[in-house]
Each structure stands twice: as structure tokens, then as C-alpha cells.
Amino acid sequence: MVSGMSDLTPLFEPYTFRSGVQVRNRLALAPMTTTSANPDDSVSAAELDYVARRSGGVGLAITAVAYVTPGGKGFPGQFGAEHDGRLDSLRALATRIRSGGAHAVLQIFHAGHNSPPELVGGDVTSASDVPSPQPGRTHVPVRALSRDEVRGVIADFGRATRRAIDAGFDGVEIHGANGYLIQQFVSAHSNRRDDEWGGTPEKRLAFPLAVIEEVQRVAAQATTPFLIGYRFSPEEPHEQGLTMHDTFALLDALRERNLDYVHVSLQDYAGSPRRGGDPDRSRLQQIAERLGDTPLIGVGNIWTPQDAARALELGATFVALGRALLLEPEWVQKVQAGRTDLRGTFSPADREALTLPEPMWGLLTNVMLKDRLTPDLVSS
């Protein structure tokens, strides 16, 4: 048996979300970038096999992120949810996830100024004409979205939600993290607007709240329980970037929106704030307290069952597993059975045994082995 197995009991408790969606445990597949879509941006057979295997034990399986509009594509090999022609692709994904007993959640986004120009016809857009701070993109020209375009993107999130419903997903996760468009509107670094979408901290929250409202409006039309989650990053390192003070304001607004859950994007679940908040307490603790009764998914450097249990102790309602499930697809089943043979390393001969698409394997070996994993490569 795993040492301290009784302490792991909370990981395997079922849960019923506000929407009525019921899951078998408190463990989720983190939404990891796979770069493995077909050339036409449909979900590939390799990605279906990858996600199906890792959905066999978790309660929730959150997909790699799908873009909601052509101008919002974020990276090569990304699958789309931007038009109705994607329904067969999305339906296949939802079906494979649900076949393992997990509930399927489609993560959706617009990459904003992090879109590679060659993927969006050279028209990179954001809240303002502020370039991406990512290395290699600081000199890429960026165009501020017009008011009409902002409203159009909001509608695109709603249309993608309808496709998720039609495809058989159990919910959507709005991707407001990792420096993509929604976060760009929230951040004073990237949002320099002086209209209703920016100019004050309150107005910088208008876009994510409008997206949530539209997604909720569409989800209300579903005939079966359908959950809505929201993902966010609590801090940004650059000048005028997000601090914990900004994040607390965002969390206050999210708490009022009756979401099924909020999902924090962290590299270390136990890490402390760098800018704002209490430096002597973990960000996870402070976020959970601020959210009150809104469920929280924690993530970041969770390898062992004890890590996962500790994340719950710090205030998370759920734990998302990223790299642990990459290296050990049956992590949940093994832990629940009390087994200790959890894979923590891999070799070049392991790709097929781990059911990893070749493009994703390239990410894993090139980045993980060099210990330069960023939030984007941990999860979508």
C-alpha cells in the first residue's frame, strides 16, 4: 500500500458541481498542449488515443485548448472549434474521453498577441497594440481590436460553446490564463484602451466577464447539465503586469458569476506570491480563501499522491495532473489501488508505450529534459 494511504481518501471522493455535473473523484487531466492536430486543424487519431488513455481514471478531462475564431489560433498543430465543420472532430474527442468514465471539458481561447503571424494571416490582434512579451515576439506588430471586433470575439466564444454542447462535451473551460487574449484584457501591461473595455481596473475586467456571460447564456440552452470553468494566471513578471492585488479583484468578480469552478495556472502548487498578497502563505491558499465556496482546481509540480493530497489541504477542491499523467497514464488507477510503481522518468524508447503523439513527444523531450518547462507547455 502507498504510505499514508488513508490521507489520500479525499482525492477519491465524488463531487457534484453547481450545474449538476457529477464526477467520480477530485482528479483532473490538465489541459496540455499537444501540437498534434491534423493539417486541417481537426483532432488527430493520435491525440484521441492519448487523451482517451489518460481519461480512464480522472473525474474531469480538460482538453488541449481549441481556438474559437481563425484570428485567435495560437500555435501549429492546434485543433479548432471555430466553425460548425468542426463538429465531427469535436464529437470524436468528447466520445473518447467519456468512454473512459471521465467528464469531458473543452478548453477554448483566443491567443491574442501571442498568435504567430503566419497562422493568422499576418493580422495579430489584442486588447491594444502592445506586442507580446514572449521571447522572439516582442517586435511582432499587433493591432488593437475594434469595439465591433471585441463584441465579435465574445460571440465566437458563445458559438464555440454551442458546438461543445452539440458535440457531447460536459462543459467548457474559458482560458483566461497564460498570457492569452482574455488575460491581455485584464492586464494593465497589455490593455491600454480608454473605452468601455479598458482604462480602469474595473473596465479591464469587462471583457472576461462579458465572455463568461455569453458562455453562460448559451450553456443555459443545454438539455443536460453543462459546466463552465474559468482558468487564470495570478501574476505576470513584466512591468505593469498582473499582481496578486489584481487577481483578488478578478476573483471577487468571478465569485459572483456562479461558475462551476475556477482553475489557477501555476508552475508550483505550493509557491508563494511574488507581487502582492501574503508572501508567507501559498498563492493557492490565498486564492481559495478569496473564492469562498467557488470550487478551485489547483495544478503545478504535482507528481506524487502526497503532492495531490497537500494541494487539497491548501484549499483546492480538485487537483489537475499534467506531467504526472504524461509519464504515468494510469496514475489515478495505480494510486487508488495502493500501488507505488509510478513512472517518474522516461527514455526515447517510451513514446509508444506512453501513447504520446509524436509532436507532443518532441515537446516533452526538447523542453522537459532541459528543465525549461513553462506554463504553456505544462498546459494549454
Q: Count the neighbouring beta carbons within 10 Å of the beta carbon of residue 296.
A: 23
- Cα–Cα distance for residue pair 186/181, rounded to 1 Å: 9
Which of these is catalytic: 180, 230, 261, 269? 180
269 catalytically annotated: no
Residue in the block written with cell 523542453 = 367
Backbone angles phi, psi at 118, to 5 degrees: -70, -15
Q: In angstroms, rounded to a whole number, what is the distance separating the alpha carbons of residues 357 and 346?
A: 15
Instruction: Decide: 8 and 305 in contact? Cβ < 8 Å.
Output: yes
**56 vs 278: CA distance, rounded Å:** 38
In angstroms, the CA 74 to CA 79 distance is 10
Query: What is the spatial distance between Cα 372 and Cα 380, in angstroms, rounded to a whole number?
Result: 16
Q: How many residues does the chain have?
A: 380
Q: How many CB atoms lie within 10 A of CB 136?
A: 8
Classify strands 22-23 and 15-16 as parallel, antiparallel or unpaired: antiparallel
Alpha carbons 314 and 294: distance in angstroms, whole number: 15
Distance in angstroms (rounded) separating the CA atoms of residues 161 and 208: 15
Among the listed residues 365, 338, 371, the one whose alpha carbon sits nearest the alpha carbon of residue 349:
365
The Cα 151–Cα 166 span in angstroms is 23
Burial pattern 263-285, b for ≥16 Cβ within 10 A else e, equals bbbbeebbebbebbbeeeebbbb
What does the alpha-carbon distance between residue 100 and residue 97 come to, in Å, rounded to a whole number?
Answer: 6
CA distance 128 to 147: 11
Cell of 264: 489557477
Non-local CB neighbours of 244 within 8 Å, separated by 6+ positions:
234, 235, 273, 275, 276, 277, 283, 286
The residues annotated with a catalytic role in the active site are: 180
